[in-house]
Amino acid sequence: MQQLYVVGFEVSEESGASEVPPAEARGGPGVFERLLTHMEQHVEPRTTGLTGAALMAEKGSVDIAALWQGRPDQRVSWSPVTVAADVRALRMEIEQDLPGGGGRFLCRLTASQHGEATGFRVVMGRKNDGLLAPARVEDLKPPRALKAVMRDGSLRCTDGADRITAVVLPALTAQIPVVRAQLRDPGRRLPVLVVSSVRTVGPPADFARKAASRLAGLAHVVVVSGWLAFHAFNSDAGPHLLPLDGARLYWPGMEARPPWWEAGDLHGDHDVLLGRLTRLLSPLSVVARGRDRLWDSVRAAETDALLDDLADTESEQVGGLLKALDDERAQSVELLVRNEELENQAARLQIEIANLTAQLGALSTPAAEPEEVRERPPGEPRDFGSDWARWTEVSGGALVFTANAKDEWSRCSYPYPDRMWEALETLAELAREWRTRRGSLGRSLVSWIGDRTPLMYAPLDEGLRRARLHEFTFEGRRKPYDRQPHIKLDDHTTPDRVGRIYFAIDNESYRWIVDHVGLKLYGR
């Protein structure tokens, strides 16, 4: 198998409190069982009746008919290893013909548990029977099992100190120091793809979300949202500036020159750009990941258990058999090591080819770094006078402000006006898309806002209601509006620094009516 893509990480149970016992202790499925559940979807359990328990019972294989016309059939095989309750593994291989010939595509999934350590690994490559031809690495996409593991909220996936997710990290100005710390962390293993999206909603933001899913385990993805965050990031980016509405890939160690893509690339075909990123990162993943040590340790434990069993017998042939097994294992290890060296050498050659191609391209194209963008939002930091109407216009009428909201802001002493401006800028974009969808998001507004932006939204405020400050009138409507929905800024600090945006949700006119901008209305 010619390895083209490798993603691997440790998996543990996600728990918000250390005193909560593990799932297995509570009678639920443990981490390893959760991984089996995600792997079993590749054998179509509804059709074949195969479950995780059946896969662990004995090795086998099954042919899976193509789900869509024109797609090749798949052959799925699996090999379980069980030494003890906490020493076990399952390796699954999914094989199919490559379109247009060129060998067979192979996807190998491995879940391994050895004591307290549990890991999951995905290897994609091809069987080419010695065919000397390049592989289409840009067509590689995460298998269903990997996507399911990434979506499983009960699992925590890590690679060293890196948290592995398929979710984009949104960053406003307040989060920029965290992003800088991540980029400069000497323990970071994965590159970070930083995307600039001056508008919260648009092609750059859409691209960031697609990249986070496609590149899970290969790179982290951060989207820098808004003008203020963009300028804050570039103010300390050194010579490697982030292009406006573009993207840049920052390598671990920050030594190699980070490649970048301009706004035109992010407003173009996202699949093509994601393919180029996959081709760039996949060969590196093969070199960086090396061998699957956890799988090796489970297999070694299996061999040791077999040898222990043989040692307890009284057969005269045991000595010779033990020696033969030792010789076989030594030879296998030698072959595996040699195979790994050859695969790494091939990957390094691919990287060299990519580097030479890039150098040749650089001879005919300018290699100038992105220019610094000096444009900033106009006006004084605290003066939103020209912004209230603009936010309503930008949102298409989905975000409106009462006179009280404007008065409260003009009188308040909230110390971070840039953050408030940025939050309202983002809220206008969100309100516009919410209205476009006519309030139908397919999930809660809390999840929708939280997944797309760093804003902290809460639908209720019991303290506000108890203080009888939750209702207001607007545009002569008799029935008062409820302004409990709010955006939190700078929580868990002194009262003079706690920012709030209180607004009502008008589901009839599909708009958000902001009635307070400033400090928290109670508890001061």
Q: Is the pLDDT of residue 355 over 90?
A: no
Q: Mean pLDDT throughout 386-411?
A: 94
pTM above 0.75, yes or no: yes
Residues 6+ apart with CB under 8 A from 33: 52
| 226 and 313 fall within a common domain | no
Residues 279, 283, 284, 288, Cα dihedral to 10°: 150
Residue 406 inside a domain? The answer is: yes
How far apart are the two ends of the chain, measured CA to CA in Å? Answer: 66
| 404 and 492 fall within a common domain | yes
Q: Mean pLDDT throughout 238-258?
A: 86
Per-residue pLDDT at 18: 43
| 396 and 360 fall within a common domain | no
Quickly state the pLDDT bin for 383 (edges 50, 70, 90).
confident
Q: How far is CA 440 from CA 206, 399, 443, 448, in A?
A: 18, 17, 8, 11
Instruction: Give the CATH number, domain containing residue 239.
Output: 3.40.30.10
Residue 369 inside a domain? The answer is: no
Q: Mean pLDDT throughout 52-69?
A: 88
Mean per-residue pLDDT over the chain, rounded: 85
More confident residue, 127 or 447: 447
Quickly state the pLDDT bin for 17 (edges 50, 70, 90).
very low
Of 134-143, 314-323, 416-425, 450-459, the poorest mean pLDDT is in 314-323
Per-residue pLDDT at 174: 86
Q: Is the pLDDT of residue 119 over 70?
A: yes
Per-residue pLDDT at 323: 66
Which of 202, 234, 268 finishes a domain? 268
Residue 182 inside a domain? The answer is: yes
Per-residue pLDDT at 283: 85
Per-residue pLDDT at 360: 45
| 252 and 302 fall within a common domain | no
| 396 and 446 fall within a common domain | yes
Residue 146 inside a domain? The answer is: no
Per-residue pLDDT at 129: 63
Token representation of residue 22: 């593990």
Residue 26 inside a domain? The answer is: no
- 136-172 confidence digits (pLDDT tens): 676 778 899 999 999 999 999 999 999 999 999 999 8
Per-residue pLDDT at 277: 92
Residue 514 inside a domain? The answer is: yes
Residue 60 inside a domain? The answer is: no
| 391 and 489 fall within a common domain | yes
| 485 and 399 fall within a common domain | yes
- 460-505 confidence digits (pLDDT tens): 999 999 999 999 999 989 999 999 999 999 877 888 889 999 999 9
Q: Mean pLDDT throughout 181-203?
A: 90
Strongest mean pLDDT among 297-311, 343-357, 376-390, 416-430: 416-430
Residue 351 inside a domain? The answer is: yes
| 402 and 463 fall within a common domain | yes
| 175 and 249 fall within a common domain | yes
| 338 and 458 fall within a common domain | no
Residues 124/289, Cβ–Cβ less than 8 Å? no
Domain hosting residue 259, numbered range: 160-268
| 246 and 340 fall within a common domain | no
Per-residue pLDDT at 256: 72
Quickly state the pLDDT bin for 313 (edges 50, 70, 90).
low
| 303 and 209 fall within a common domain | no
**Residue spans of alpha helices (H) in 290-366:** 293-311, 318-364
- 97-116 confidence digits (pLDDT tens): 876 666 788 999 999 999 99
In what side-by-side order are the strands of the sheet with 499-506?
Answer: 399-401, 511-519, 499-506, 486-489, 456-458
Q: Is the pLDDT of residue 186 over 60?
A: yes
Tally of domains within the chain:
3
Which pairs from 150-157 meet CB under 8 Å and 24+ separation?
A: 150/213, 150/216, 152/34, 152/38, 153/14, 154/13, 154/14, 154/23, 154/34, 155/11, 155/12, 155/13, 155/14, 155/31, 155/34, 156/11, 156/12, 156/13, 156/14, 157/9, 157/10, 157/11, 157/120
CA distance 274 to 474: 47
